[in-house]
A and B are shown apart, each in its own frame.
Chain A
Amino acid sequence: MINKLIFFYFAAVILISAILMITRRNPIHSVLFMLLLFFHIAGLFVLLNAEFLAAVQLIVYAGAILILYLFVVMLLNVDKESAAVRANRFWPWMIAFGILIAGEIVLLVLRGTFPANAGQLPMRLGSGVGALGKELYTKYLLPFEIASIVLLVGLVGAVMLAKIKTKE
Chain B
Amino acid sequence: MIPLSWYVILSAALFTIGVVGVFSRRNIFILLMSIELMLNAANINFIAFSHYLQSLAGQIFVIFVITVAAAEAAVALAIIILIARNRGSVYVDDFNIMKG
Give A residues with C-beta under 8 Å from B: 3-4, 7, 11, 14-15, 18-19, 21-22, 27, 30-31, 34, 37-38, 41, 44-45, 47-50, 52-53, 56-57, 60-61, 64-65, 68-69, 72-73, 75-76, 78, 81, 84-88, 90-91, 94-95, 97-99, 101-102, 105-106, 109-110, 112, 114, 116-125, 127, 131-132, 135-136, 140, 143, 147, 150-151, 153-155, 157-158, 161-162, 164, 166
Contact = CB atoms under 8 A, between A and B. Distances in A.
A120 B41 CA distance: 23
Contacts of B15: 101, 105
A41 B44 contact: yes
B5 interface: yes
Interface of chain B: mostly helix, strand, loop or mixed = helix
Contacts of B81: 72, 75-76, 161-162
11 contacts: A34-B33, A47-B2, A60-B66, A90-B23, A98-B16, A99-B16, A102-B12, A118-B51, A135-B57, A140-B60, A150-B68
Interface of B: 1-10, 12-21, 23-27, 29-30, 32-34, 36-37, 40, 43-44, 47-48, 50-57, 59-60, 62-64, 66-75, 77-82, 84-86, 90-91, 93
Contact of B33 (A69, A78, A143): A69
A15 B14 contact: yes
B17 A19 contact: yes
B95 to A, nearest CB: 13
B63 to A, nearest CB: 7
Contact of A118 (B1, B33, B70, B84): B1
Contacts of A87: 24-26
Given A7-B2, A48-B48, A60-B66, A161 B75 contact: yes
